[in-house]
Amino acid sequence: MANTFALILVAVTLVTGLVWLLDHWVLVRIRAAKARQAQASAGSPLTAEAIEKLMTEPVWVEQCKGIFPVIAAVLVLRSFLYEPFQIPSGSMMPTLLEGDFILVNKYTYGLKDPVTNRTMLETGHPQRGDVIVFKYPENPRIDYIKRVIGLPGDRIIFRDKELYLQPACNDSKVCPQLQKINTTFVESGEFSQLGMPLEHYTEKLTATKNHDILRNNFIPDRTGMYYQQPGQPVGEWVVPEGHYFAMGDNRDNSQDSRFWGFVPERNLVGKAVAIWMSFEFDRPAGSSVPSWIPTGVRFNRIGSIQ
């Protein structure tokens, strides 16, 4: 859907832009020639009203010229600067909730072709802990949002709901050791899944970055569904060059790299940087109000994303 919209946006910009150029260089001269011809035929100067009528551009030209600057600005903004997204599921709870509307920085990881998503100019790479939007590797027409856990060369282990990380050596004389990622319990019961209370933790993924995660200790890890990287045991992965390992913050309710593998760099869309609006949809059971109608605005959620 996102690719289709981008294609439509590019096509409309191209068509309206061509009409604007056609009118500027060709059609306006044709109208002027008709006005001169009409004046010559009349044998006397035409009134200002008659000249204005002859010089008036057709409705379809007027509409295209009015649309072009607006649609071109939208194309540039959406393709190269910021793009809005809506959070459709709870896989990134508690960081992002259903009903959050976020802004994604499109130039952090490179300027990309808005239709093919190919990088035209490199400007940077994801860092561990970034919340990223990317094309789902198994169906690039779908956009996913997850958190970067592993960078190229990193060793990742997820076992018994615990995360272990060995950063890439990168030709260092002393290579990092495999370490368990520290977590601090916050509370239980604030969030729930299928009626089961979730435990809320703060995870320290790097020395300077903390973020919140949720665990459901009532269900076991779905190790039987994990993506098994050739040459690695189940639940262990080494991130290939040019790829990233991404996970949802709601660890037991997220389809992520544990289940389908790695995120290719070419699939990156951008970095989620802020929540600009957040709607809540909670309503009593049996309510006649359609589920898509918001019941309130969560103003306290508007701000930057950690």
User: For position 257, which CATH number holds?
Assistant: 2.10.109.10
Domain's final residue, options 81, 111, 134: 81
Q: Total domain count for the chain?
A: 2
- Between these two residues, 6 and 50, which has the higher pLDDT value? 50
Give residue 4's pLDDT: 65
Long-range contacts of the stretch 233-240 (C-beta < 8 A, 24+): 235/157, 235/158, 235/159, 236/155, 236/156, 236/157, 237/150, 237/155, 237/156, 237/157, 237/262, 238/153, 238/154, 238/155, 238/156, 239/150, 239/151, 239/152, 239/153, 239/154, 239/155, 239/156, 239/168, 240/152
| Minimum mean pLDDT range among 55-64, 67-76, 160-169 | 67-76
Q: Are residues 136 and 56 in the same domain?
A: no
Q: Are residues 92 and 76 in the same domain?
A: no
User: Is residue 257 annotated as a catalytic residue, yes or no?
Assistant: no
**Mean per-residue pLDDT, 108-120:** 80
Q: Are residues 98 and 146 in the same domain?
A: yes
**Mean per-residue pLDDT, 183-206:** 92
Domain's final residue, options 30, 64, 81: 81
pLDDT reading at 15 higher than 90: no
Q: Are residues 186 and 205 in the same domain?
A: yes
Give residue 216's pLDDT: 94
- Look over the chain and give the mean of its residue pLDDT values, rounded to a whole number: 87
100 phi/psi in degrees, rounded to 5? -75, 140
Q: Are residues 201 and 75 in the same domain?
A: no
Would you say 258 and 227 are in contact if contact means Cβ atoms under 8 Å apart? yes
**CA 248/CA 149 separation, integer angstroms:** 9
**Mean per-residue pLDDT, 58-82:** 79
Structural domain including 70 reads: 2-81
pLDDT reading at 14 higher than 80: yes
- Between these two residues, 17 and 171, which has the higher pLDDT value? 17
Give residue 8's pLDDT: 74
The active-site residue, picked from 79, 146, 257, 278, is 146
Give residue 116's pLDDT: 74
- Between these two residues, 65 and 233, which has the higher pLDDT value? 233
Domain's final residue, options 46, 81, 116: 81
User: Is residue 91 annotated as a catalytic residue, yes or no?
Assistant: yes
Give residue 73's pLDDT: 76
Q: Are residues 15 and 98 in the same domain?
A: no
Q: Are residues 38 and 158 in the same domain?
A: no
How far apart, in Å, are the Cα atoms of 53 and each of 22, 31, 32, 82, 150?
Answer: 20, 10, 11, 42, 66
- Between these two residues, 95 and 30, which has the higher pLDDT value? 95
Give residue 289's pLDDT: 67
Give residue 3's pLDDT: 59
Contacts of 38 (CB under 8 A, 6+ apart): 46, 50, 54
For 269, other C-beta atoms within 10 Å of its C-beta total 21
Q: Are residues 181 and 35 in the same domain?
A: no
| Minimum mean pLDDT range among 65-69, 106-110, 234-238, 253-257 | 65-69
The active-site residue, picked from 79, 91, 254, 278, is 91
**Helix or strand run (H / E) with residue 90:** none
Q: Residue 296 pairs with which residues in a beta bridge? A: 280
pLDDT reading at 2 higher than 60: no
Q: Which of 4-13, 63-72, 180-189, 287-296 has the highest mean pLDDT?
A: 180-189
Give residue 229's pLDDT: 97
Q: Are residues 46 and 101 in the same domain?
A: no
Q: Are residues 253 and 300 in the same domain?
A: yes
Q: Are residues 133 and 257 in the same domain?
A: yes
Please report which residue ranges of 91-204 form alpha helices under DSSP H. none
**CA 41/CA 240 separation, integer angstroms:** 77
Q: Are residues 52 and 105 in the same domain?
A: no
pLDDT reading at 292 higher than 70: no
Query: In a 3-state reduction of DSSP, which class is residue 61?
Result: helix
pLDDT reading at 1 higher than 70: no
Give residue 156's pLDDT: 97
- Between these two residues, 192 and 261, which has the higher pLDDT value? 261
**Mean per-residue pLDDT, 214-224:** 93
- Between these two residues, 109 and 119, which has the higher pLDDT value? 109
